[in-house]
Amino acid sequence: MNIIDIRNIFKIYEIGDVKVHALNDVSLRIDKNEYVAIMGPSGSGKSTLMNLLGCLDTPTSGVYNFTGENVGEMDDNDLAEIRNREIGFIFQTFNLLARSDALHNVELPLIYAGVSASERKERARKALIDVGLEDRVYHKPNELSGGQRQRVAVARALVTRPSIILADEPTGNLDSKTGREIMALFNEIHGQGNTVIVVTHEEDIARHAMRVVRLLDGKIEIDEPVTNRIVPEPVA
């Protein structure tokens, strides 16, 4: 079954007289346990598409079926619940809470999932250990490097054990070694049967996926399987 099924999606921004077609008639189906890389030049609509897939944003027109249910018919609360339970979102700009430490940032989705404080703390700590931040648990975002912040964001996305990971440029701020570690983590998550969708502009990163979707000016230009796939060493 298609976990994600979007048909004839348009996202149009009107600024004054100018209409920006951020997404221009996009249709895309993604199966459970696929690993998809979305590529394209800056401004081609990658983040816009990710926001739609992540149930953060609604299209100007078109239909989005998420696990067989029409997202357009859901209310605010349903969407919040899907974002909380089904989707792990890693933003291009981290979007951590500046005043809270790493642990609290990772705990946050569990609060909204109604997980008790003690269980929350334990799971958040474990998620931070998984991304190699065991000694940065009580650091605030401004006390962390860019790569460490990215890893906190990854831990926050994974802590709820979502079935779909949406990552917008997860390695954009990382050196190649840390980048490879993050990609190894994604590979592992994918190996556990989850669906992973990664936005990137680096061919090397895209080659970790099984399928590449290339956007240009809000349209899908190419949608093809990856032939020479990179399978990273599992993280120790």
Partner 1 sequence: MKTIRNMAAFMFELREGLIIALKAVAANKMRSALTTVGIVIGVTAVVLMSTAIKGIDNAFEGGISSLGADVLYIAKWEWFSDKPWWEMRRRDDITMDEYRRFASLVTLPAATAPYIIARETVKYEDNNIGSALVTGTTERYLATTNFEFAQGRFFTAVESSSSRYVAVLGSTVAENLFPRGDALGKEVKIGGHRFRVVGVLEEQGSFLLGDFNPDQRLFIPIGVSFKHFSSRRHSSITITVKAASPELVDETREEALGAMRKVRGLKYDDENDFGINQQDALMETYNSTVGVIQIGGYFITGLSLFVGAIGIMNIMFVSVRERTREIGVRKAIGAKRRTILAQFLLESSVICVMGGLIGLGLAVILSLFVDQVLPTSVQLDAAILAIVISAATGVAAGVAPAYAAAKLDPVDALRYE
Q: How far is the CB of 57 from partner 1 (least distance, A)?
A: 5
The interface partner of residue 138, options being Mg ion, partner 1, ligand ATP, none and the CB cut-off 5 to 8 Å by kind, is none
Report if residue 202 touches partner 1, rule: CB under 8 A.
Answer: no
| Residues of the shown chain interacting with ligand ATP in the complex, contacts defined by CB under 6 A | 13, 15, 20, 22, 40, 42-48, 92
Q: Could you say which residues in the range 161-180 bind partner 1, by CB under 8 A? A: none
Q: How far is the CB of 80 from partner 1 (least distance, A)?
A: 4
Q: How far is the CB of 93 from partner 1 (least distance, A)?
A: 8
Report if residue 47 touches Mg ion, rule: CB under 5 A.
Answer: yes
Of 47 and 84, which CB lies nearer to ligand ATP in the complex structure?
47
The interface partner of residue 20, options being Mg ion, partner 1, ligand ATP, none and the CB cut-off 5 to 8 Å by kind, is ligand ATP
Of 92 and 100, which CB lies nearer to Mg ion in the complex structure?
92
Please report the DSSP string for the chain in residue order.
-EEEEEEEEEEEEEETTEEEEEEEEEEEEEETT-EEEEE--TTSSHHHHHHHHTTSS--SEEEEEETTEEGGG--HHHHHHHHHHTEEEE-TT----TTS-HHHHHHHHHHHTT--HHHHHHHHHHHHHHTT-GGGTT--GGGS-HHHHHHHHHHHHHTT--SEEEEESTTTTS-HHHHHHHHHHHHHHHHTT-EEEEE-S-HHHHTTSSEEEEEETTEEEEEEE-SS---PPPP-
Q: Could you say which residues in the range 48-107 bind partner 1, by CB under 8 A? A: 51, 54, 56-57, 76-77, 80-81, 83-85, 89, 91, 93, 95-99
The interface partner of residue 59, options being Mg ion, partner 1, ligand ATP, none and the CB cut-off 5 to 8 Å by kind, is none
Tokens 């000016």 belong to 217
The Cα–Cα gap between 40 and 45 comes to 8
Of 77 and 228, which CB lies nearer to partner 1 in the complex structure?
77
Of 179 and 218, which CB lies nearer to partner 1 in the complex structure?
218
